[in-house]
Structure 1
Amino acid sequence: MKLLYITNGINGSGGLERVLAVKASYLAENIGYDVHILTLNDGHQHPFYSFSTAIKFHDIKVLGNPVNYVVAYKKGIKKLLKNIVPDIISVCDDGLKGLLFPVLFGKTIPVIYERHASIDLNFISEKNTSKIQKVKNYSQKKIMVWGAKKFNLFVVLTNGNKNDWKGVNCTVIPNLSPFVNVDKNFKDAKKNIVLAVGTQSYNKGFGRLIDIWKMIAKKHPDWKLEVYGKQNKNLNLQRKIDELSLSDSFILNEPTKKIAEKYNESAIFVLPSRSEGFGMVLIEAMSFGVPCVAFDCPHGPADIIKDKEDGFLIKDGNNLQFSEALINLIENINLRRKMGQAAKINVARYSPDKIMPIWDSLFKSLIKKDEDSL
């Protein structure tokens, strides 16, 4: 089967790129798919994660004003579709143009959409308070749902996300863990490190994580909170850290390709996000026996964490409750170990061998349905 993924780029360090690397490589190497990935503006150069050498990469240039951008986008994709003639197209683009793909190109080939973010991601902002902005958000959401209805199938990561797309032909397939054989180098003895992973944005909530850490740092000066992810100087996170005298214990780091080592040595993982499509980093941390504390944001953490069994789910925005759960884990090594062991067991449900057969069946069912309609 010839499968074409369409995305903006694979050179970032985000969850979408991580999942695509694991999933596309599995399909190419384990099931024998002919996998193609299309990116924009050299987005295939220098991928952050490892992709199978069996995958074929394509790229088109889309530049200039919106009109020129759309013209180049349509021309480039139509040319590629004619050249490779895929059996299935899977659009992995959380932007508006991705949601309008069937409107731009039709559905002569079965086309699905993979939504890797909560619908809230498009609307969460510090500047979302004006009436004009609310009208814009309402209009954009209507367009997004209208576009989503045009796909043969719309795939989301959690049941909570499914409920956001009313009237859309949705199915739920969770993300898969990229870490499945960690026992060989697994460290039971962890360092006094609380870990967070993610691109710096208002949505990821690192600003409120700094406020939470302020409640903990003086009481536990032998602990550090380390954040790994693409930095955003406009958020002024480092300035806030310095102003609160937390620079010795709250450390901002650039993304690392050795993130597995960071999971392996950390005692606790935290997710302060305001919204998630899933929470890929949670299952990554849990694979290494790390208990997690996360806000119960829309959507993902509640599907992954079993509250008070392998971690803690905190009412969204309740910084005090978050800090209390974190202190509880910091001060109780037996609780950390118990929850960490449960996390390692529970996260096995996201292994590639459990998730990828679902994708294989889905692709094959779409092909059969398309053939039966001829």
Structure 2
Amino acid sequence: MRICLLVPSIYGMRGDVRSVVNLAGELAERHDVEILSVRRHRERPFFPVAPQVTLSWVIDALPGVRHLFPQGQMRTEVALWRRLRALRADVVIGTRPGLSVQVARHAPREIVRIAREWGRPPMPGPIVKFYPRLDAVVAATERSRREWGLLLDGGADVSLIPDALPAGPWPRSRMDNRIVAAGGRLVSARAYDRLIRAFAVVAGKRPDWRLRLYGGGPEERRLRGLVQELDLHNHVYFMGTTSDLTGEFAKASIVAVTSRAETSGTAVIEAMASGVPVIGFDSPCGPGEFVTDGRSGVLVAEGDGEIEAYASALLALIGDERRRRALAAGALRAAAAHRASAVADRWEKLIVTTSRCV
């Protein structure tokens, strides 16, 4: 079977990109898999792609590349339409609403056409109009499945398939390092300022513990300034970007999540796969999609006093090794549903079922 995964750019360090790379690598064990990137702006993808996966792109945006036609959004859309109309595949999976609309409009009808969704539905106009042409819509979380189902209102089938972890074996934490880790792009939605302020309370009572932040982004300068303001330069460390977040989480004993929304949750499930309990806020679109409070991690209520509550939750887990290890075992059990082989099997079954219906 020939499977094409259409992404805006496979060269970034987003969680949804990581999920696509993981899924493609597993599917390529049994199928011909292509990742089609709308744009290429780097020589190599940030995350390593399995050698049996074919990489291609619509627009080459590498510095120094000369183009016959002017740059611009219209040029990109026209090039994408042409590529989709000439696509030779059995299945094409759009991984962003804007791309899935183009798949519905321009991919040949004999191809199984699927939309992969992570977050909430955006502005509904084009989606309501064109998604009924698709053969399936696949959400990554139960909340997302419900929201897309309400928007489409029977106009397209919406299934639930979780994100895939990297192929195993996964590194496992020994739970003996006095390290709290956090990972993801340093952007405002991640709310790392909440984590740093909470860790200031932790450092005052448990100065033997350290916080490691993995990632990069536009918020880094402001966050570094906050670390200096709170005199945490000996307690909080900016570790830079890594393509092996699972391995880095395995060096920690707690993973902290303070984001206001976990769209893909890749960092959360990679932490659980490393056998590390997660502490996060119990926000409507937060890590509660992946973490069960008291079984695989700890969820803290948002609102008044949230920084102090989060710091208290960290200190409680730091001071209770037996509880940390029990939650770590629960995290490993929860991560099993995200094994690449199990996730790929669900995709294959969906594709086969959908193929029989078209």
- Do structure 1's residue 71 and structure 2's residue 74 form an aligned pair? yes
- Do structure 1's residue 173 and structure 2's residue 155 form an aligned pair? no
Structure 1 residue 308: Cα displacement: 1.0
Structure 1 residue 179: Cα displacement: 5.4
Alpha carbons 1:102, 1:147 under 8 Å: kept: no
The answer for unaligned runs of 5 or more in structure 1 is 120-139
- Do structure 1's residue 152 and structure 2's residue 132 form an aligned pair? no
User: Which residue of structure 2 lines up, in the alignment, with residue 136 of structure 1?
Assistant: none
Residue type at the aligned position of 1:143: G
User: Which residue of structure 2 lines up, in the alignment, with residue 309 of structure 1?
Assistant: 295
Q: 1:260 to 1:160 in 2, by over 3 A?
A: closer
Q: Spell out, residue by residue over 1:198-238, the C-alpha distance to the aligned partner (whole angstroms, 9 max, x if none).
A: 00111111121122112211111111111101222476111
Structure 2 counterpart of 1:247, from 233, 237, 240: 233
Matches within 5 A, 1:1-374: 1-29=1-29, 31=30, 33-43=31-41, 45-61=43-59, 69-93=72-96, 97-102=98-103, 104-105=105-106, 108=109, 109-119=111-121, 141-143=123-125, 145-146=127-128, 149-150=131-132, 151-165=134-148, 166-168=150-152, 169=156, 170-178=158-166, 180-182=168-170, 186-233=172-219, 236-299=222-285, 301-317=287-303, 318-370=306-358
Alpha carbons 2:128, 2:151 under 8 Å: kept: no
Q: Which moved more, 1:307-316 or 1:162-171?
A: 162-171
Residue type at the aligned position of 1:303: E
Corresponding residue SS for 2:256: strand
Structure 1 residue 80: Cα displacement: 2.8
Alpha carbons 1:310, 1:343 under 8 Å: kept: yes
Structure 1 residue 171: Cα displacement: 1.4
User: Which residue of structure 2 lines up, in the alignment, with residue 135 of structure 1?
Assistant: none
Alpha carbons 1:192, 1:267 under 8 Å: kept: yes
Q: Spell out, residue by residue over 1:340-374, the C-alpha distance to the aligned partner (whole angstroms, 9 max, x if none).
A: 1222223212212322111001112222222xxxx
Quote the RMSD (CA, aligned, Å): 2.6
Q: 1:234 to 1:294 in 2, by over 3 A?
A: closer
Runs of 4+ deviating beyond 6 Å: none
Identity, in percent, stands at 22
Corresponding residue SS for 2:238: strand
Residue type at the aligned position of 1:101: Q
User: Which residue of structure 1 lines up, in the alignment, with residue 64 of structure 2?
Assistant: none
Structure 1 residue 107: Cα displacement: 6.0
Structure 1 residue 19: Cα displacement: 1.2
Q: Spell out, residue by residue over 1:105-130, the C-alpha distance to the aligned partner (whole angstroms, 9 max, x if none).
A: 266233211123345xxxxxxxxxxx
Whole-Å Cα distance in 2 between the matches of residues 323 and 83 of structure 1? Answer: 55
Structure 1 residue 99: Cα displacement: 4.8
Corresponding residue SS for 1:265: coil
Alpha carbons 2:261, 2:283 under 8 Å: kept: yes
Whole-Å Cα distance in 2 between the matches of residues 358 and 300 of structure 1? Answer: 25
Count of aligned pairs:
342
Corresponding residue SS for 1:17: helix
Residue type at the aligned position of 2:101: L
Structure 1 residue 23: Cα displacement: 0.7
TM-score with structure 1 setting the length: 0.83
